Structure formats: structure tokens, C-alpha cells
Structure 1
């Protein structure tokens, strides 16, 4: 899971709160983390596999930047879950590995190297997932607000991976100064690492709902302004987009709110003179409960995200090499002549055929719609009854 306590645990002179939380039933906790991560890894991979789809005529769709971002988020979650499976499995198979991380045994560096390497891997890809989730909210807002059909996916790569690497390296460098075997004590030394860990998470929790709300408002205005009316079809499309955004935020809150609660409780314990004092029993129990909840929910973000993005894609996997390998959520979009597809917000996921639509309308002497309206119309399948 993505908790800065796991990086702090790699220090031999860890603080009392970290020692308390990580030393409680470590085998049970590792088993829970391993099982949850393995299940998420399997189901997320299944969701991403190509499925049997009815053949569609015409040129293949080119995924929009928003669709690519959703795929990258799932890949980051997969890599983070893979790291959790490896780390938890090693801790289960070699229980003495943890006990060898001690201040008095500085000659054996491999336990500390594995501890730091595994924690960095997991933290890196979960942090990247947070930044990409933020970029997704920015992208859909800009596409609708600017009526732009092309988004700067390269810029998103530079921002997300650059910030992820910079913050992770800076936080860990401050935490492990002057060396892993002799980390400095004190909250002032660990605070930069905690800030770099929770900053992207809080950014998504606080800013993404605002961007999603403004995107829905802009979508409603565009739909009303296209023909001056707001029919049941437009209302349905706006509702589906709103539901998709709500599910994305709901998954994020469910998976990561326990981390914030747990960290607040542990910080409170750190500020006490005696972590094991009798009057702190309820605080300790709450910290342990949220700690195990984190071990279950953090790795499940990958699978829950795929359900929020495009629903359950089924078990009908297509391994044929002759067919075009589609992403599972390709079915969220249909051709302009297709029927209604109930996948929430599918119109925001595809920006293909926009130029073709505009050329056809120009050839017929009709007014060209904005790119955002074309994106919304593409794939929503709102077909008039004849």
C-alpha cells in the first residue's frame, strides 16, 4: 500500500508510532496485502484484455487523450500491485528479513535495500496514478471548455512523471539522510517525505471534484447551446457523464481516505510521551483498524478504477492475432449510426472522426459544430427514432 510509514519502517531507528503499527501481526498484514494486491492484479488485467466485439465497419477509432490517460492510470495501478505482491510474498516467505533491519547489524544491507526498493516502487507508481487522475480531470475540462479536440498528452507525461520522480526522490533523500542505516530522528526530518506522499493524493481529493463539477456545467451549456433546446437525450448524456465522474471520485475516496485518517492518528500518537499509555487505547485500536483497511483497499484501486471507468467488461476474452486489439473500453464508443450505449460518459472518451464530421457538414452546407459537441455526440448513440 502507499503509506510513508513503510519507507520509515526501513530505518533501523524508526519512531515509536511506526514501530507500533508495523510490528502488530506483520505476517497477517502481509498476507492480507498480498491477497488483495493479487486479486486486484488479476481482475484489472482481465479488464484490460481484449474482448470479443461485434465487427464494426469503417476506419478504426483513434483513442482520445482522455482514454489514454485512463489506460495509463490502470497500468500504474497494475505495476504498484505487482510490487505489493512481491514485497508481501518475500516478507511472508522470509519472516526473519524484517528482524535483520536493525541498528546493530549495519553490515547486512540487503534487507534494507529490498525494503527501500520495494517501498519506492510502490510509492512511485501510486503517486503517478494520483497525478494521472488529476490530469484526467484537467483534460476533460479543457476539452469541453476550450472546445478542443486535441489535448497535449506529451505535456501530461512530462508533468506527471517529472513531478512523481522529483517528489519521491526528494522525500526519500530527506528521510534517509545521511544514510539508510542511520536515519535521523524527529518529525522535522520525516515531514518532507510525508508531504511529498500526500500532496498528490490531497490534490485529487480537493481539486478533481471542482474540475468535474465545472466540466458537467460546461457540458450542459454546450448541449443547450447547440440547438437551443435541452431534450431528454441531452439530459441523459449529461447525467451519464456526471455519474461517471462521481464513480471515479467515489473509488478514490474509498481507497485513500483511510490513509489520511490513519496518518492523522499516528501523528497524534507520535506527539504523545508514551504511545502505549492506557488512555490512548482507543486511538491505537483505530489506527490498527485503518491500517488493515488500507492493506485491503489501497491495492484494490486498480480493479475498482476499471469498473468506474467503463464497467465490467466480461470474461469473453479474444486472443486472436488477426483482429484489431482493442482496449476493453473501446465499446464505450460506437459509430454515428450506432445505438445508445449506456456506458457513463462515453462521449468524453473519444475524439475520433471529429474532423470527418466537420468536413461532411461543411460539404452539405451545414454549420460546423464545436469540437466539444462533436466529442460529446461521438459515441453517445443518441439516435432519433424514425
Structure 2
């Protein structure tokens, strides 16, 4: 019975968290994208697609604020002709969309959605797989997405999709390095790779970007300002990680692999019907997982701010029975807020040139993330070091950083302005 109970719990978590929480966020994000862009551009977004009650004799259709628009989009793409060009490499052509969307959904399994809940006297964590290598697992699986985009461009046997695939390889590999380096300060601070433990630590002792309660606050730890000083490398890590997530998910202003003004449609130009839709499902699913990872590591995950989580615990410090549902709602609120931020950036910032994109990744973010690792290590080790050792380390870090910036500035040749043929 225990085995059947555990299997049932695993199936419920997989179906509930993946297919009833994350997957519905994909069409909802599309709806948010349309409404948000309409507000920014001062126009009307989708507001009429609804239930056609007039077909059944009613006087007026039920518009439902246009919320049925994502369902109509999905139905349209599902019923469109699934056309496969003759000149493509068919096996890889069919495999590419699956390699784009599946890794994004698999990474959901290590993201904690809420505090543990108790069922039948057994504590159950709201995470599908509570791995001790959570961030590494996410990076390993999400890196497979580049194969889907690359195969889509290569198997199409067409010029513009191939260029989009090549761009994607260079872009995603470049920014994966920045992603990996940027979270090292976070992992150094917590000494953990388990995302559930990281969130619980933030719940008790302050979020990484909001260290104002628990042991992070100087008035609670005997005047230790380490958490406040560590806010500097933590914010730099947050900045680099967030911008790199934009590049990894091919979102504006980093959507060069599918740049319509240069590549017609990029790597998915030759696709139609649901194969075409799967690329967009993969993009939005990756955006959801990227937002979830940012919220988990930097903004407390499912926890409430200012130690309000203590009101959801009993006298023994155990979570009350409904705390998991409250924390799930908190996590989803943060997640939706960050998805809206993704959409806001898309409709605010213009697209980068490709040379600017690569320069940002290799010349700025790579070096900045590397320096940030040493800065974080120095702050963490400072209480154990002598004052002289700390000062020497700080001076060396400043000197090396200044030398690196000078080298980059000198080696960066300024191009002469384009004066045209007459010039």
C-alpha cells in the first residue's frame, strides 16, 4: 500500500505541477503578451473571442474578456494543415520541435512550488524531484534545447533557417557560461545545491535580495553585516542571470535566431501547424522556468517576506495544513509578476545587433560574472580572515578588475562613422 501511495503521490505531483500549473501558463502568457503589448501601444487587445451564445439563440455572445483567445489560437494551429516540405531532412525535421519543448518541461521537476503539506500523516514536498543538484540539473537539461533549434535550422535545408540555427548555437552557448558563473555566488553563500533548502533558508533568514529578518538582519545576529554587504555581489549575480535568461530563451531584445526583419522567421520558417506551435510552447515554457529559477534563488521562492511565514507555523515550528496552498499562491504570484516583466522588456527595449549581443556576453558579462565570484568569495571568507589578509585580497581584486577593464577598453577598436560612398 505504501508503494502504491507513493506512486500515486508522484503521479499527482507530475500531472498537477507540470500539466495543471506550468503548461497552462504558456497560453496564459500568450494572452498576457497580447494584452500588455496592446496597453503599451495604446490599442485594444483581444477582448471579443469568447463563447458564441448567439448560435444557440441568445441575444449576445459571452466575450469573457478575450480569455478564450489562447484556446482559439491552439485550436487553429491544431487544425491547420501539417505541411512538410519535400526538401527537408524529415527525421530531424520532426525531432526538432520535441527537443525544444520537452527539456523546458522536464526542468520543472526540481523547482519547489510551496512548503511541504501533510497527507495521511505523511509530509509531502511540493516538488516533483527534490534533488541535491537542482541548478545543475536545470542547466544540463535546458542546454539540450539548443539541439532542437539547431536541428530545425539545419534540417530545413533552407538558407534563413540555417542562419537562425547557427546564431542560436553561438548565442545560447555563450550565455550558458554567464548563467553558470552568475549563480556561483548564490551557491557559495548558501553552501547548497538543493533548491528546496535554499528557499527554506530564505524563508527563515531573509531573501537574498531582501535580507531584513532572521539571521541576515544585524540586530538579530549580534551586529554582523555580512548579509547586507553580500547584497552587492548578489544583486550583480541577479542582474547578469536575469539578462542571460532573456538571451537563453531567445526573448527580445535577444531574439536574433528568429529575427523577422533579417531571417523571415528564423529557424522555424519551414514549419507549420503544431510543429510550429511547439517552438513557441518551448519558448514560453523556458520563460516560465527561467522566471521560476530567478524567483527561487533570489526572491525567496514560495516564501512570504519579512518573516510572515511564521504565522503559518504551529508552536512546534511545523507548517499548518494549508500553508502549502498559501505558498503555492505566493509562488505563482511572483512567477506571473516576473513573466509580465519579461513581456514589458520585449515591448520596451529594441533588438540588439548580433555583434552587440556577443560582445555583451563575452566581453562584459563573462568578465563581470568572474570578478563577482571572487568578490563574493572574499566577502564570505572575510570573517575568518585577518584584517590585513582581507585588505590585501580587496586590493588585488580591485587591481585585477581595473587591469581587465583597461585591457578590454584598449582592445575595443572604435569603428569610423559610416559616411557613405560620397565620403
Tell me which interval the TM-score lies in, with the shorter structure as reference length. 0.3 to 0.5
Question: How high is the TM-score relative to the length of structure 1?
Answer: 0.32
Greater relative CO, 1 or 2 (CA 8 Å, sep 6+): 1
What is the TM-score normalised by the length of structure 2? 0.30
